[in-house]
Chain A
Amino acid sequence: MIASRGDDDRALIGAIARGDRKAFDALYRRYHGPLSAFVLKTTRRADLVDDVVNEAMLVIWRSAARFEGRSTVRTWIFGVGYRCGLNAMRAQRKADADAPLEDEVLGTAGAVPAKADEVIARETMARALATLSPEQRAVIELTYYFGYSVAEVADIVDCPAGTVKTRMLAARRRLHQVLGESGGASDG
């Protein structure tokens, strides 16, 4: 989870709007990790992450002056990253289901060595998530991994709260179904 640093973030955005490159560097360093993780979890394309994050940061640099503060800076940044991620996936013209389930993508590379059953559980979960659409995955990950509220998720994915709940329900049903079939982390 990202620590709440709202005022600090707003100051950085204000400075970026005035062309302050050091502020841009600071914001980049602050959000590079979380944004990369979010883009990966949404797109499941490790090969796209760097490009998408860089594109998102460029959009932030260009449009900082237009940030009106109606949402928090972090939800705005995640929203930019979300749209850039979806655009990149469309540009690649590849169905999400075709994306390879690499160890890197699943987050097992470089992780602390885990017990066999933990590895299996992670892979099972990763395969279940791969069956969702990027839009559904975004809602799931933003809620369960990043801990956002319904309103924040709605801001990020730019749709009404009701749509977020509907996507979430559909995603949960799908995950329960897939995990139930594979004996994974669900009893529903």
Chain B
Amino acid sequence: MAKDDANGKIGPSAQDTQDAEHAQDAQDALLMELPWYLNGTADKQTVAAIERQLAISPAFRDALEAEKALSAGIAQSPSPQFTPLSSPSDALLGPSRDRARPNPLAAFASWLQGDLKRWLIPVAVATACLVVVVVPQVDQGGFETLTTPGADTGALRVLVGDGTTPETVSALAQSHGLAILSGPSDGGVYTFTPQDGTDLEAAAQALAADPQVEFVEQTVK
């Protein structure tokens, strides 16, 4: 930048040269700030310094005019319109969990209206068949306990206490109208069958009360 030379001296002294260099440095520093002075974001101190320089330096004023033209050209350049996504979160992040996991009540209502009707008749038929098959088997005593009324399984499994001899067990069976069918097993269990006219349930209850007997159950027929 040109330095104003208005002091009338012939030839600059060393001090003048040094001062001129300082002034030029200061002006260069302010030139760097011009863009933010023009866009209005420079701090107050910088604004004041620039305005002082503008008041004393025609070259600095020229630089400011050039900068104004440049900034206006850039600031006025239009920007094309871009079309945003209509549903950015779905497009960029994937479907919402809320939508992926429907409301359980709504899903149940939907099932009632649709799938239940479709499956109702086959399920009802299958259930009816199961009842037909299972109920007679229960009536035939497929699995009954000692307390089941009318139980008639035909044999008793009896566990006697340690040290009871086979003869004692045989006598025990006979005393209740029973006979040894098999036993003892590895676990010490005998199988008793009723002799003619023996009420098996009554015999089982009597055996259960006998101190020599530890456990009694009717076998599955």
Chain A positions within 8 Å of B, measured between CB atoms, are 21-22, 24-25, 28-29, 32-33, 36-37, 40-41, 46, 49-50, 53-54, 57-58, 61, 104, 106-112, 121-122, 125-126, 129, 140-141, 143-145, 147-150, 152, 165-166, 168-169, 172, 175-176, 179, 184-188
Contacts and interface: CB of A to CB of B under 8 A. Distances in A.
Contact of A185 (B36, B40, B72, B81): B72
Contacts of B96: 21
A117 B165 CA distance: 128
Given A28-B88, A37-B79, A107-B77, A148 B66 contact: no
Contacts, number: 126
Contact of A144 (B39, B66, B93): B39
Contacts of B35: 143-144, 168, 172
A184 B88 CA distance: 41
B73 A104 contact: no
> Is chain B's interface secondary structure helix, strand, loop, or mixed overall?
helix
Given A29-B88, A126-B77, A185-B69, A147 B41 contact: yes
A169 B162 CA distance: 109
Give chain B's interface residue range (CB within 8 Å of chain A).
35 or more
A108 B78 CA distance: 7
A41 B79 contact: yes
B92 A145 contact: no
A168 B71 CA distance: 12
Nearest to A168: B35
A22 B62 CA distance: 51
Nearest to A152: B41
B87 to A, nearest CB: 7
Nearest to B43: A149
Contacts of A41: 79
A122 B70 CA distance: 11
Interface string B76-88: 0111111011011
B138 interface: no
B74 interface: yes
B44 to A, nearest CB: 13
A3 B67 CA distance: 25
Contacts of B89: 21-22, 24-25, 28
A81 B17 CA distance: 48
B73 A125 contact: yes
Contacts of B199: none
Nearest to B85: A28
Interface in B48-78: 62-63, 65-67, 69-75, 77-78
A168 B67 CA distance: 12
B71 A144 contact: yes
A40 B87 CA distance: 22
A107 B69 contact: no
Contact of A143 (B39, B62, B84): B39
A25 B88 contact: yes
Contact of A187 (B39, B41, B62): B62
A24 B93 contact: yes
A57 B75 CA distance: 26
B184 to A, nearest CB: 71
A49 B82 contact: yes
Given A25-B88, A28-B85, A32-B82, A175 B70 contact: yes
A163 B39 CA distance: 19
A82 to B, nearest CB: 16
Interface in B86-100: 87-89, 91-93, 96
Contact of A147 (B31, B39, B80, B87): B39
11 contacts: A29-B84, A32-B84, A41-B79, A54-B85, A143-B36, A144-B75, A147-B40, A148-B41, A150-B36, A179-B70, A179-B73
Contacts of B39: 143-144, 147-149
